[in-house]
Amino acid sequence: MEKKLVIPGDFLSDDVKLADEGTYVEDGKVFSSVFGIASLKNQIKVVPLSGKYIPRQGDLVIGIITEVSFSNWIVDIRSPYEGLLHISEFPRRIDNSEMSKYLKVGDSIMTLVKDVDPSMKVELTLNDQRLRQIKDGRVIEVTPSKVPRLIGRSGSMIAMLKNETNCNIFIGQNGRVWLTGKDKNLDLAARTIQKIEKESHIPGLTDRIVKFLKEEKGIPIQEPAKKKAQIEAVEKGEPTQETARDEPVIEETPREEAEEPDKVEENESGGILDELLDK
């Protein structure tokens, strides 16, 4: 197989021209620079199994406002470097004194990395059709290096996930994932995403996820009757977004107060140390 698990310093190839991300060249040979999965097809590339998000120009990310300064919003983009969103990058002309009226500390935004300079000053923008503030749904976090697997080849995984869970899903390059939909569906989507993150290095991922989703939906009997539930919801006049699944809807729901983005933490049991120390 052309994929294998490598550690830093592992020899990969003699062909220097093929060296790509996650590798380094020394004495005309290509070595792995990270602990991850090496793929030797076309380009020699190692995808790390963990690591921080390093911003690059053109990345769509999800950020959280941490500070409002004189003419910038300072945004946490889950990286060692903070993002700067200048007042002029807001879609509308606003006054310095009114900045926190539009975006205040703690607000989440879908934003674009406009520029990164060599000293890693990160400039963000909201001046794009696709960009907006996040007001509903939930934001969960995954390891940034797993984002490509979550999206799948030309978006196959994410399309399948959207279909099967009836949620709208937006994946930021920084590993923050924004989910909108109904609570129960959100739970399922969040669980599935965590499974993808945990098993992304094992071959046959898509098939397993399809199976997982089927099982998850099969066990609770109410689930196959989801369509019915939706109809009921419509009859009750609850706001549903079924019709506009393809694009996130920005209308403000009355439940806005309760919609602080929940961060689902990966809480694997910390028992391994206890187990070790027992012996």
Binding site residues, other proteins, CB under 8 A: 5, 7-9, 22, 24, 26, 31, 33-36, 48-52, 54, 80-82, 118-120, 145, 199, 201-204, 208, 266-268, 270, 272-273, 276
> Per-residue b/e over 115-150, b at no fewer than 16 CB within 10 Å?
ebeeeeebbbbbeeeebeebbbbbbbbbbbbbbebb
Do you know the residue count of the chain?
279
- List the one residue out of 45, 49, 51, 50 whose CA is nearest residue 3: 45
With respect to other proteins, which residue has the nearer C-beta, 51 or 249?
51
With respect to other proteins, which residue has the nearer C-beta, 16 or 49?
49
Alpha-carbon distance of 10 to 261, in angstroms, equals 41
Give the shortest CB-54-to-other proteins separation in angstroms.
Answer: 7
With respect to other proteins, which residue has the nearer C-beta, 135 or 208?
208
With respect to other proteins, which residue has the nearer C-beta, 104 or 211?
211
With respect to other proteins, which residue has the nearer C-beta, 21 or 252?
21
Give the shortest CB-187-to-other proteins separation in angstroms.
Answer: 21
Residue 154 is given by DSSP the state: G
Give the shortest CB-273-to-other proteins separation in angstroms.
Answer: 5
DSSP per position, 81-118: S-EEEEGGGSSS---GGGHHHHS-TT-EEEEEEEEE-T
Give the shortest CB-102-to-other proteins separation in angstroms.
Answer: 26
Give the shortest CB-270-to-other proteins separation in angstroms.
Answer: 6
Say if strands 11-13 and 29-32 run parallel, antiparallel, or are unpaired.
antiparallel
Alpha-carbon distance of 49 to 32, in angstroms, equals 13
With respect to other proteins, which residue has the nearer C-beta, 54 or 160?
54
Token representation of residue 116: 């990164």
With respect to other proteins, which residue has the nearer C-beta, 54 or 94?
54
- List the one residue out of 102, 161, 94 whose CA is nearest residue 132: 102
Alpha-carbon distance of 42 to 13, in angstroms, equals 12
- List the one residue out of 158, 153, 170 whose CA is nearest residue 196: 158
Give the shortest CB-33-to-other proteins separation in angstroms.
Answer: 4
Give the shortest CB-8-to-other proteins separation in angstroms.
Answer: 4
